[in-house]
Structure 1
Amino acid sequence: MTQTKPVIGITMGDAAGVGPEIILKAFNDDSVAKMSNSFIIGDAKILERAKSFVGSTKEIHVIKHPSEGLFTSDVIDCLDLNMLPNDLAVGEVSPIAGDAAFHYLAKAISLANAKEIDAICTAPLNKEALQKGGHHYPGHTEILADLTDTKDYSMMLSAPNLKVIHVTTHVGIIDAVNMITPERVLHVIHLAHETLSKAGIKNPKIAVCGINPHAGENGLFGNGEEEEKIIPAVEKAIAEGIDVQGPLPADTLFFRTVRGDFDIVVAMYHDQGHAPVKVLGLESGVNITVGLPIIRTSVDHGTAFDIAGKGIADEKSLVEALRQAVELSPEK
């Protein structure tokens, strides 16, 4: 029986950034058409303009619904929302571009909720532009959670030899510590276990970071946060049969995970988890939102306004995000 390729909606992100360029470059990779029926949700005119930045000669084929996609290696299908002016400035924060980026994602979520696409893959948006465009979310993840009515979710980052899932993400460090609870830590351990188990890793080995230096050093550092917020969750997960250790010192844990001691790290806050992943794989890292009723993967980099329009942005992270979206999509 022939398997139908999954249909992936790729949101263009902030059109003033590198999103249009990395999309065009990604579609020059023959593997994209071979592994998926992928199309763009964005503005066709912006893709046409970006062709000159990267030297693309592929035709932009405008569609109104995924069913109209040609999905061949010769064209790039674009569900055109036609929200942006022809003269949108490149490399600048724009409320118009921020608003459009929100609507591209909202359209993708609507299609995914209706089962008309199998997964969403997102190019980067700009948080300042998003806010100035009237959408008061910290980023993609929170929009996805809101528009899918998801209360419990987490961000997972994947780079070569390292996967990290987060207890908190886009909040200040003081707020992050206050938000960490045993219930939240246990829930993220469950998400890590379920996600890797579904990906074919039997009984995944999970490591949990401490909050303080040296994971508190038995009360020497901090105010007992590890004992109050992390240890009860780890003990309960172990009692449930999950292979988990922690809290462990973050300064050595990521090295140990890359070495192969663990399959995934549970990080307590944004920079604790993001920094190691980006050191290892800024160009090939992938952001995956777990806990949603739909599949969403993303590049693990920003809009890169400083190089937008120059045609030098690297598309590897987007191609890898597409691969992971395909792998996570349900079989047909």
Structure 2
Amino acid sequence: MKLSDFDFDLPEGLIATRPAVPRTAARLLVAEGDRITDAVVSHITDFLRPGDRLVLNDTRVIPARLSGLRHRASAQGETQARIDVTLLEPRADGTWAALIKPLKKVKPGEEVVFSADLRATLQGARDGQGHLLFNLTGDDFDAALNAAGAMPLPPYIAAKRPADAQDLEDYQTVFARNKGAVAAPTASLHFDEALLRAISDHGVDFTHVTLHVGAGTFLPVKVDDLTTHKMHAEWGQVSAGAAAEIAATKAAGGRVIPVGTTALRLIETAARDGQIAPWEGDTDIFIYPGFRFQVTDALMTNFHLPKSTLMLLVSALMGQATVRRIYDHAIAEEYRFFSYGDASLLIPE
């Protein structure tokens, strides 16, 4: 099994740069085994059963993209240079790991000013990442970051347009509550409060878990031999209550349906011993064809990049040949792809 087996040609015009309005107007491709139905997200209850359980990732995306000025004193006076920063995660020593462009232009001890309220000093660098110590912490830091930062849009959107104020709403789920992600669990962007109520009224339950999606989700697979690929790690938590809810649904014969690959990867991490259990930590689970799913019965997800780990994941769930047919259909019917695109509901036989 080689990475090249999961490649396909995608017309550039199918890459969505803005979401559907309203959110629930996005199209929904439903694949029940080999049977494909074209639908709309607002009608998802047509394909859900009372007793099913949707698993939602309640992580909250931070406005992690910052642009600032580096100040450096010299014999000729103070010089300034534009520095672009994408925050990745807080570190135990109080600094933030960050992607800094250009990193080589910033020296340890130098300060980068992002706004009148927010600035940071480079403490050091390792493995291509800078470690920034900000002048603020806690709620003060959050307020200054919200004012100065922009949403960290995926590279395939950022290459087409800059993030703007609309993305602060569009690139956040309506149930986001635990801040820490630098990428959204994009399948969940299709829900609004009215649809969540309609799903609940249909007899479908919800469970919330948290996985802080990292920038590594956009990293390409660089090896053709998939067994040698190393996944990035992301922090997640399945609470005791969440594990009990999922276990109860399985015992009652209901289907457990994660919304998004992040929720799926997390609950399968928490069920590696064969049954779901409370879990917290960093997961680097890599799901590709041959993987044995322990709790996942179906998946709601967007359409993914060619040759990506997410293409491997959906192929593991549905079968490689079936996913090829699904994607051929999606392209022929001009579904919108990637983070702001349309959705699929994948139900294996």
Per the TM superposition, whether the score is higher than 0.5 is no
Q: TM-score, normalised by structure 1?
A: 0.29
Q: Which has the higher helix share?
A: 1
Q: TM-score, normalised by structure 2?
A: 0.28
